[in-house]
Structure 1
Amino acid sequence: MDILKRNNVKVTGEGDKVLLFAHGFGCNQNMWSQVAPAFLEGYRVVLFDYVGSGASSVMDFDHRRYSTLNGYARDVLDVCEALDLTSGVTFVGHSVSCSIGMLASIARPGLFERLIMVGPSPCFVNHLPDYVGGFERTDLDGLLALMDQNYIGWANYLTPVISGESNGGPVASELADSFCSTDPIMARIFAEATFYADNRADLQYVDCPSLILQHRHDALAPVEVGEYLHSHLRNSTLQVLDVVGHCSHMSHPQLVIDAMRNYLPA
């Protein structure tokens, strides 16, 4: 199987160190278009699409594999293996990809040098009083039910929530285009894997250092989530970005670039 074609892998830049960018649910590698180019000098920059997203090979989508985040973590490991990457990789993930990257780092110790997490959440469901995830289980049940009943209506409802701006705004529009170009069945499977995942118990097994980029006003991942991650991830650094929405790499790319540059070795 040609993994590079399956996952629409693009490699640019030069350097001994590798930055591997991973997109969130309903998105694709193009969401990193304002951040990734800033690192072409000094890094090999790797972009890809999860199977079922973007310009990946949808013929390779397996319902059973991609019904859990472990299936997407296997995509990450497959891409690294296809590129002969065995160490020195910095994984840069958005949203659910932060959990996917953590799972991949646990499965393949030594592969990742560090994790950079943009808007991470190990669990979107509230487990009060110990954990604030942002949603009640019934909220997510209703969201997925709307997805089943009216996919376009679901996309139009969710994009302003995720982007932090009204429909028609640049980030909301790009998200809506991405959602609406994704196969609804595959999107539904990824959505359930994303919103019902609970990876809190996995945090103790993450060994590599991590940078947590939390958004100050994020309907999907409140500040408490970033604080929880920081307290449960060894060698983690928490930085709260003064951003409204869940997609600072799209809405405020320079903030993300600056935070990454400050964190990465000179």
Structure 2
Amino acid sequence: MDFTRFNFDPNRFLLKRVQLIQPEFHLKTMDINKRNNVNTLGNSGPVILFAHGFGCSQSMWSRITPAFAGTHRQVLFDYVGSGKSQLSAFSAIRYSGLDGYAQDVLDVCDAQGLQSGVTFVGHSVSCSIGLLASIARPNLFDRLILVGPTPCFLNDPPEYAGGFERADLEGLLSLMDQNYIGWANYLAPSVAGAAQGEALAGELSDSFCSTDPVAMRVFAQTTFFADNRADLPQVSRPCLILQHKEDSLVPLAVGEYLNQQLKGSTLEVMDVAGHAAHMSHPALVIDAMQRYMAK
């Protein structure tokens, strides 16, 4: 893999081998609110459901939620295996596909008694997860706001340019297996954006490193090799696509592709470098959300 793409020297870090868990574990029945560490802000108003990206947690939305305090009921959660979710509920079988994470979204909505009118706000892979959830239960959602979405990271020329060759993504997984800390320090600056300096990259790296490496290895493979292009025509809810102008993970062509494939979607390109505008440029995301939800 060409590590110079992200200005990373893989020899800087000590090796740490990560092994996959055995797939025989089955998901236990338990309190969904505890399982997914569900938290709510506010008790009334339209509902906003926030879904974090790979390697992250609900805390990544802390720069966004204050703008909607007092006007919305905000629901935040962690996917099983992420954040402060109950790791004992993790199943390599269930979470080997994005449908398993989409079921987490639906479970959380059911546990919170949500039946309709939900505005889903997702980051990165959660955008695809939210789209899958909306296909399964279209009446549950009013609209979806997608921050840095991609239906597929892999290039599939000449029809689609996802940004990565298979060898690139296999290289990321190999680094993750050999050196989990090094992988986290490698990926974090690309997500943060070079112009954001060390503070945001450090916050993301800490998030990656604080997450169980076994669960993250499964989530990584599921994320990197998912291909949800064929699902896009089934999405019936309106979507706002918030594309980063300079994103080493998701090129501009992906946002344009999604805008063409998602009926009734709106594409807005943010003048942002990186892959996490809700953290690096929250005011831009808040403004886009407020304008979209006011329509």
2:54 to 17, 22, 25: 25
TM-score (norm 1): 0.98
The answer for the alignment partner of 2:109 in structure 1 is 80
The answer for the alignment partner of 2:272 in structure 1 is 243
Aligned-partner Cα distance in 2 for 1:79–1:5: 10
The answer for the alignment partner of 2:94 in structure 1 is 65
Aligned-partner Cα distance in 1 for 2:199–2:121: 23
Contact 1:16 1:43 in 2 (8 A): yes
C-alpha deviation, 1:167, in angstroms = 9.3
Q: Secondary structure at the match of 2:226?
A: coil
1:133 and 2:162 are equivalent in the alignment: yes
The ranges of structure 1 where at least 4 consecutive aligned residues each deviate by more than 3 angstroms after the TM superposition are none
Deviations 1:119-170 (A, max 9, x none): 0000000011111101001100011001000000111111111111279622
The answer for the alignment partner of 1:163 in structure 2 is 192
The answer for the alignment partner of 1:201 in structure 2 is 230
Q: Secondary structure at the match of 1:213?
A: strand
C-alpha deviation, 1:13, in angstroms = 1.9
RMSD, matched Cα: 1.1
The answer for the alignment partner of 2:203 in structure 1 is 174
1:12 and 2:41 are equivalent in the alignment: yes
Q: How many residues end up aligned between the 2 structures?
A: 266
Contact 2:196 2:280 in 1 (8 A): no
C-alpha deviation, 1:37, in angstroms = 1.6
TM-score (norm 2): 0.88
Q: Which runs of 5+ in 1 are unaligned?
A: none
Contact 1:19 1:44 in 2 (8 A): yes
Aligned-partner Cα distance in 2 for 1:161–1:93: 19
1:49 and 2:71 are equivalent in the alignment: no
Contact 1:147 1:154 in 2 (8 A): yes
Q: Secondary structure at the match of 1:42?
A: coil
Residue type matched to 1:26 in 2?
Answer: G
The answer for the alignment partner of 1:255 in structure 2 is 284
- Percentage of identical aligned residues: 65
Q: Secondary structure at the match of 1:188?
A: helix
Deviations 1:201-241 (A, max 9, x none): 00000000000000000011111000000000001000000
More strand by share: 1
Deviations 1:47-78 (A, max 9, x none): 00000000000010011001111000000000
Deviations 1:91-134 (A, max 9, x none): 00000000000000011120010000000000000011111101
C-alpha deviation, 1:40, in angstroms = 1.6
Q: Which runs of 5+ in 2 are unaligned?
A: 1-29
The answer for the alignment partner of 2:63 in structure 1 is 34
